[in-house]
């Protein structure tokens, strides 16, 4: 059981770091834009995820990652 929790925790941590960066990569043209968009995407995913947690009573970490994935998919299919 403890090994499974460690593995899932590591995967969630990697997702929380990688998904906003991938979203920003799709939308930016320079390093400063990349940094700002990545921070905004991560913040927006956290805000949406916490709101989903409060309203739908689902796990907060999973809700934040799902929100980040939705933002990433939007950036893939609807670039600026």
pLDDT digits (tens, 9 = 90+) for 4-35: 888 888 889 999 999 999 999 999 999 999 99
Mean pLDDT of the chain: 92
Q: How many domains does the chain have?
A: 1
Average pLDDT (47-67) is 95
* 50 band by pLDDT with thresholds 50, 70 and 90: very high
Query: What are the C-alpha distances in Å from 63 to residues 32, 36, 49, 60, 78?
Result: 28, 22, 5, 5, 22
In a domain, 61, yes or no: yes
In a domain, 7, yes or no: no
Give the per-residue pLDDT at 45: 97
Domain that holds residue 34: 18-77
* 2 band by pLDDT with thresholds 50, 70 and 90: confident
In the predicted model, is pLDDT for residue 80 greater than 60? no
In a domain, 10, yes or no: no
In a domain, 11, yes or no: no
In a domain, 13, yes or no: no
Query: What are the C-alpha distances in Å from 7 to residues 3, 12, 39, 59, 69?
Result: 6, 9, 25, 17, 20
As a whole number of angstroms, the distance between CA 80 and CA 74 comes to 10
């Amino acid at each position: 059981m403890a090994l499974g929790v460690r593995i899932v925790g590591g995967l969630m941590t990697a997702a929380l770091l990688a998904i906003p960066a991938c979203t920003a990569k799709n939308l930016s043209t320079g390093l400063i834009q990349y940094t700002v968009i990545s921070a905004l995407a991560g913040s927006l995913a956290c805000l949406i995820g916490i709101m989903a947690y409060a309203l739908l009573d689902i796990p907060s970490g999973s809700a934040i990652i799902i929100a980040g994935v939705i933002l990433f998919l939007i950036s893939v299919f609807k670039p600026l």
